[in-house]
Amino acid sequence: MDFYHLLPKIELHAHLNGSLSNSTLAELRELKYGKEVPSGTDDCFYKILNGESLTLEECFKKFQYAHDLTDRREALARATERVIEEFAKDSVIYLELRTTPKCTAQMTKREYLTTVLDVIRKSSENQRGIVVKLLPSIDRSKGVQEAMENVNLAIELSSSFPGLMVAFDLSGNPFGTTFSDFVPALQRAREHGFRLALHCGEFEDEQEVKEMFALGVDRIGHGTFIEGENLAFAQEHKIPFECCLTSNVKCKTVPSYEDHHVAKLLKLKHPVCVCTDDFGVFETSLSQELKICASTFSLTNTDMVEMQRNAIEYSFASEQEKKELRAKIEQFSETLSKEL
């Protein structure tokens, strides 16, 4: 096994729906539709079942599949279990998972959120060597009312699931929405102890980034277009960036790995953590993302251990959890130095 696989890793930006692997999608499909193999109308799923390679357009279809296949509690619980298992298999020791509570024909938003939280709670009881937290998301495209609904629901459920919901995420298609409309909901979340890990500067909108900074952002999701004054502000306040290399390259928000803004941040020695975003959709893993980052920017194994050590400090884990995570990285680092 290689260094990247064995390295204990910290994942701070992963969406539940985008983190369903092909085998998870296949399993969920069988759960919902039975063993019947899809016919010509569903070519793309046929390819997934047969392990054939997919075009980028076909990869994006996985978001729709994930949505359709997790519309009931049993399937959603299975999906959450699988995602946690696959991160754990990749030696991820701490995972912050994001998801927007959804209401479907078979479940309410409350049922959605409690289903995911129950699985997370069980996973920590099973002591699989991975600590998992949930970041409820606000999907901008769903509007302000839903945003406030999600915040109120999370506040209400947080006492039943102490320590599991640590922050709020703001994601989704920003076009046609105005950030300031979401401020009251995010403010309310913060007043109730939630940190804010927002998709920020994902598109070119200097003013919006300013407004997010004025509200107070604990971590920056992507931050592709944070430059000039905004970058200076982020530097001054040491706000960590969550950088998702393959996701950005495949979505074409950055032209190539070499041109990824993580290069600039590494040069500035700005706090950065490398994350997957949607490992199922983009067919990657956290090990692979770290490997790509190291090989593109000539980073050593020691640099990569250091990156994981630092990511613990940017996480929303409790002090006790951070202590245990640090110990795991130290143990790995000692073994590594003995081998050298």
DSSP three-state, residue 172? coil
Closest approach of Zn ion to the CB of residue 222, in Å: 7
- Give the nearer residue to Zn ion in terms of CB position, either 8 or 221: 221
Structural tokens at position 290: 């770290």
What's the half-sphere exposure (Cβ side, CA atoms, 13 Å) at 300?
5
The catalytic position among 11, 86, 202, 208 is: 202
- Give the nearer residue to Zn ion in terms of CB position, either 11 or 86: 11
Closest approach of Zn ion to the CB of residue 33, in Å: 28
- Give the nearer residue to Zn ion in terms of CB position, either 86 or 277: 277
Residue closest to Zn ion, measured at CB: 277
Between the CA of residue 96 and those of 10, 57, 118, 120, what are the distances in Å? 9, 27, 15, 11
Closest approach of Zn ion to the CB of residue 171, in Å: 5
Closest approach of Zn ion to the CB of residue 275, in Å: 8
**For residues 285 and 90, is the Cβ–Cβ distance under 8 A?**
yes
**Which residue, chain included where needed, has tokens 């309410």?**
108
Write down the number of H helices and E strands in the chain.
15, 8
**For residues 238 and 275, is the Cβ–Cβ distance under 8 A?**
no
* Binding region for Zn ion (CB under 5 A): 277
- Give the nearer residue to Zn ion in terms of CB position, either 96 or 277: 277
Q: How far, in Å, CA of 42 to CA of 120, rounded? A: 32
Active site residue 191: no
Q: Which residues are catalytic?
A: 202
